[in-house]
Amino acid sequence: MTPTLTALGGGFRAEIQQIRRSRLLIVLTIAEAVTFLVLVSIFGLTGNHVPTAVVDRDGGKLSHQWAQEMAATYHTYGIRYMDARSAQEALSEGDVAAILWIPRGFSQHMAQHTMIRIHFVVDNVNADLTNEVELGISPAARAFGVANRFPGIRVVTAEKDVVRHEVGFIPYLVVSALALTTFVVAGTLAASAVAREFETRTLAYLKLSPTHPLVPLAGRLLATGAVSAVAVAVATLLVVVSYGVTPLHPAELAAGLLLCVVIFSCIGAGLGTLVRRTLPLSALIFGLALAFYLDSGSLEPARFYGNGLWVVAHTSPVYYAVGILQEAVHGIQVTPETIGINFAALIGWAVLAAGAAWLGLRRAVTA
């Protein structure tokens, strides 16, 4: 028992020393992880609040109300009041994506309930933006008509929400991104620790150790796991402080993230054994993280993507992790599976990944 523990501790200390000597790599690994948080935030900013100039030539109470309804309609428009010349300049320079011209006499027409034409100029940069800005107009007109109880409006909607406290898009995205951050940090550090043994050909020396040669390697992986846990804790703190996201169930969040560290360290060890080169590992893990990001419910519940992608999502641990993290932080269920099933699946993944990494490494060591 003692030689095993000594070998384990030795591996742990050796890896910590290695990490301390390569601070730049740690900084870059964390930068790569934070990149995810930043990128999903940028992504979250798109599709909402399209900068739209309103040239109000009427200046009345009702024209102002119309613009306010536009601003309030499902986060579609970011309204900016401008004069005609500034609006045209802003449109040509790409500062606004559309101009709404409210004509003189608008308020009078609305008060008298007579038809009026409004001109709306859209910079059709691409189909997505054009659809977004055009789709917002009818709801804005409807909201205005319903608010003023215009006659002739024969249908309205009565909405009942499943979730009591609706979560903002960016708070939703950054919580999902924590799972991917964990994947990038834990995966890269563990994969590098293993691949380095192959690259520097030190694996042969491990065979001479008085214990099983995998024990010192396990010690190294424990060290990368510990460092990853600290890095993920920092990222979580960053999310809490910068984005004002307070977890409803902190213990559940910590347990979910720790499980992720274990799983992704094991996956990283497996990747390191497969690739055996440190150079392409970070790119490979970054690429894999993007694939996980796609199909893990990071943007919205994965089931809404359709059954095909949802079934594929089950092959990724990030899917279960996102389910746990969203429940722990926001208290919302984003997978049809319960939180217990998600935890069981993650534990299963941890056992599977550890077993696969162990087998892969044993094969490599005995080869």
Partner 1 sequence: MITRAAWALRHTWTLAAHDVGQWRRAPWAIAAALIPPAALALLLYILTFNLGHQPIALVQEGHGRYSNHIAGIFQAQAGDIYSLITTDRASATRLLDSQQVAAVVVIPRNFDAAVARCPALQPDQIIHDYTYARSGCPAARIQVTLDNANANFAGEIRRALSETVAFFDAPDIVTPVSESQLDMSDLNPYRVNVMTALTRANTVDYIHYAVIPCLVLLILSVGVTGTALLCARDIERGTARHLALAPVSPVVLIAGRLLGGVLVSLVVIVPTLAITTLTGLIAPPAGHWPALALVFLATAVCAAGLGAVVGATMRGSRAVSMAAAVICTYLFFLGGGFTTVQFLPTWLRQVTTFVPIRYAIDGLRQSLFYPGLYGFGADMRVLLGTAIVAVVVGGVVVRRAWSR
- Footprint on residues 305-364 left by partner 1 (CB under 8 A): 305-307, 309, 326, 332-336
- Residue 28 is a binding residue for partner 1 (CB under 8 A): yes
Rounded to whole angstroms, the Cα distance separating 367 from 225 reads 26
Rounded to whole angstroms, the Cα distance separating 293 from 313 reads 10
Nearer to partner 1, 8 or 97 (CB): 97
End-to-end CA distance of the chain: 26
Q: Which stretch binds partner 1 (CB under 8 A): 10-18, 32-40, 341-349, 355-363?
A: 32-40
Q: Could you tell me if residue 149 is left (phi over 0), alpha (psi between -120 and 50 degrees) or otherwise beta?
A: left
Q: How far is the CB of 3 from partner 1 (least distance, A)?
A: 32
Other beta carbons less than 10 A from residue 168's beta carbon:
15
Nearest to 57 by CA among 88, 78, 83: 83
- Residue 300 is a binding residue for partner 1 (CB under 8 A): yes
| Of 4, 6, 18, 48, the one binding partner 1 by CB under 8 A | 48
Q: How far is the CB of 151 from partner 1 (least distance, A)?
A: 5
CB 143 within 8 A of CB 71: no
Residue type present at position 279: L
Nearer to partner 1, 108 or 211 (CB): 108
Q: Which stretch binds partner 1 (CB under 8 A): 245-253, 295-303, 338-346, 353-361?
A: 295-303
Q: Which stretch binds partner 1 (CB under 8 A): 160-168, 221-229, 239-247, 254-262?
A: 160-168
| Of 14, 16, 72, 141, the one binding partner 1 by CB under 8 A | 141
The site map against partner 1 for 89-128 (x = CB under 8 A) is --x--xxxx--x--------xxxxxxxxxxxxxxxxxxxx
Nearer to partner 1, 169 or 350 (CB): 169
> Residue 30 burial by CB count (10 A; 0-12/13-18/19+): exposed, middle or buried?
buried
CB 112 within 8 A of CB 62: no
Rounded to whole angstroms, the Cα distance separating 23 from 196 reads 16
Rounded to whole angstroms, the Cα distance separating 277 from 264 reads 18
- Footprint on residues 187-216 left by partner 1 (CB under 8 A): 192
**Helices 2-21, 23-45: inter-axial angle, 10-degree rounding:** 70
Q: How far is the CB of 204 from partner 1 (least distance, A)?
A: 22
- Footprint on residues 121-140 left by partner 1 (CB under 8 A): 121-130, 134-139
- Footprint on residues 221-280 left by partner 1 (CB under 8 A): 275, 277-280
Q: How far is the CB of 259 from partner 1 (least distance, A)?
A: 22
| Of 7, 37, 60, 76, the one binding partner 1 by CB under 8 A | 76
Classify residue 21 by its DSSP letter. H
Nearer to partner 1, 122 or 262 (CB): 122
Place of tokens 């599977």: 352
Q: How far is the CB of 9 from partner 1 (least distance, A)?
A: 26
| Of 288, 324, 339, 361, the one binding partner 1 by CB under 8 A | 288
| Of 12, 293, 320, 343, the one binding partner 1 by CB under 8 A | 293
Residue type present at position 342: N
Q: At 257, list the tokens.
A: 């993230």
Other beta carbons less than 10 A from residue 86's beta carbon:
15
Rounded to whole angstroms, the Cα distance separating 312 from 319 reads 10
Rounded to whole angstroms, the Cα distance separating 52 from 55 reads 10
Q: How far is the CB of 216 from partner 1 (least distance, A)?
A: 22
Question: Binders of partner 1: how many residues, by CB under 8 A?
Answer: 117
- Residue 294 is a binding residue for partner 1 (CB under 8 A): yes
Classify 300 as helix, strand or coil.
coil
Phi, psi of 13 (to 5 degrees): -65, -40
Q: How far is the CB of 327 from partner 1 (least distance, A)?
A: 11
